[in-house]
Amino acid sequence: MQQYNYTAYDSSGVRRQGEISAVNLASAQSKIKELGLVPIKLESPSALETRISLQFRIFQRIKPGLSDVEFFSSQMSLLLKNGIRVDKALGTTVKTIRNLKFKRAATQIHNDIRSGLPLSRALEKFPDIFDPMYISIASIGEATGKLADAFGQIALSLAFRKNLRAKTQQALIYPAVIFMVCVMSIVFIFNFVVPKFEVLFAGMKSLPVYTSILLTASRYFTQYQWWILALVVGIPLWLRQMKRIYFIRVAVDMLLIKIPVLRYLSYALENLRFVSSMAILLKSGVLLVDALNYAIRSVGNHRLQKQLQSARDDVRQGKKLSESLARTGFLPDIYIGVIEVGEQTGNLMEIFTDMENRFKDNYEQRLNGMITLLEPVMILVMGLIVGSVVVVMLLSIVSVNDINF
């Protein structure tokens, strides 16, 4: 005999749930009907456990986002500043984590800490959650006894990156809405408007060229629109997967810094990433060469990473940071002079912190300028596409009635 969970309705239409013992599924259904119930769902506990286990495994694979790691870091900083030991702080913070993959990782880190493993070594076991810069800052904070400040600096850096991403996504909402309205207008016209007008031209032996083009485009669109939708959705996903391939990633990164408009924004973003990483690393006490190494990893463009790696190698050989960066052309010339002043005064940390604030404003101005330019361009393109279709339909109607202007 096996236990089965059932959901059924009684004669009065009331929904009932419960368990019943039966040899098999068919026997369970018969028993439920004998009770005067109409079964709508019936499954064994093993099937229910399998479904729950599958859902749990799927959720376990969801990678934690910046918000999850930032909240973890800020909580650790707050608890450590209030005098709570690292193991106790980790045990308390684990309870607040909602992402299952992150919760499992944090639990493992907590167990490693309790067994005597250093925090930085425990964090290294999860490189997909904690990047090298994160681990380096935590290691220095652990060595200097300033772990609370280290987690605080990390939290501020992650909060900045999260806000930066949110601002970029928010700025793209309006152009995306305009694009969707344009697409929906075309879909509506080709599916419902043009087919109605096609009846008017059924008896005509010859049609104007523009009318033939419009009708042919409408037929092909309605015939293959689901394939077009699959391509529109599939191509970006395919490109995202293909970008993991090294030479394709290099080619895309090359285009981003060669196309005029994208180059303008790409350099602003990468400059900001590099400078903000240098600021937090130097503030946390990381040596200059090591800070350069970690900051270069934060740069997303592979081509620019190569340029900065040559500057890092020059600094390792004893050359000045300002001279090494000047040869790469990565930063604007005015900031190279500022870095040189910082080297002379020994205040590179303050210099990079000030540069970070300036690059933040610079990136926001460039992003807003690009979006401001993109909006009228998309409205114009939308007007040209939809307007052209409407004009062609009007001219076609005029040609049917032989009206001359």
Could you read off the pLDDT of 288-340 as tens digits, one per residue? 888 888 888 878 888 888 888 888 898 888 888 889 888 888 888 888 888 88
Phi, psi of 19, rounded to the nearest 5 degrees: -125, 150
Asked whether the beta carbons of 158 and 71 are under 8 A apart, the reply is no
**Tokens 């937090």 belong to residue:** 280
pLDDT-derived band at 405 (thresholds 50, 70, 90) equals very low
Q: Report d(CA 337, CA 8) in Å as an integer.
A: 77
Decide: helix, strand or coil at residue 204. Answer: coil
Domain 66-170 and domain 174-405, same fold? Reply is yes
Round the average pLDDT of the chain to a whole number and report it: 80
Q: Which has more confidence, 198 or 246?
A: 198
Q: Report d(CA 294, CA 136) in Å as an integer.
A: 9
Fold (CATH) for 174-405: Receptor-associated Protein (1.20.81)
**Tokens 């609370």 belong to residue:** 148
pLDDT-derived band at 186 (thresholds 50, 70, 90) equals confident
* Beta-carbon-side half-sphere exposure of residue 386 (alpha carbons within 13 Å): 18
Fold (CATH) for 66-170: Receptor-associated Protein (1.20.81)
Q: Which of 150, 120, 84 is nearest to 112 (CA)?
A: 120
pLDDT in tens, 210-267: 778 888 888 888 888 888 888 877 877 776 676 666 667 777 778 877 887 778 888 8
pLDDT at 203: 65
The pLDDT of 180-206, averaged and rounded, is 77
* Beta-carbon-side half-sphere exposure of residue 205 (alpha carbons within 13 Å): 0
Query: Does 345 have pLDDT greater than 70?
Result: yes
CA distances from 284 to 143, 152, 161, 225, 342 (A): 11, 10, 18, 55, 17
Domain spans in the chain, listed from the N-terminal domain onward: 2-60, 66-170, 174-405
Q: Beta-carbon neighbour count of residue 32 at 10 Å?
A: 21
Q: Beta-carbon neighbour count of residue 147 at 10 Å?
A: 22
The pLDDT of 67-74, averaged and rounded, is 88
Q: Taking the CA atoms of the chain, what radius of gyration do you get in angstroms? A: 31
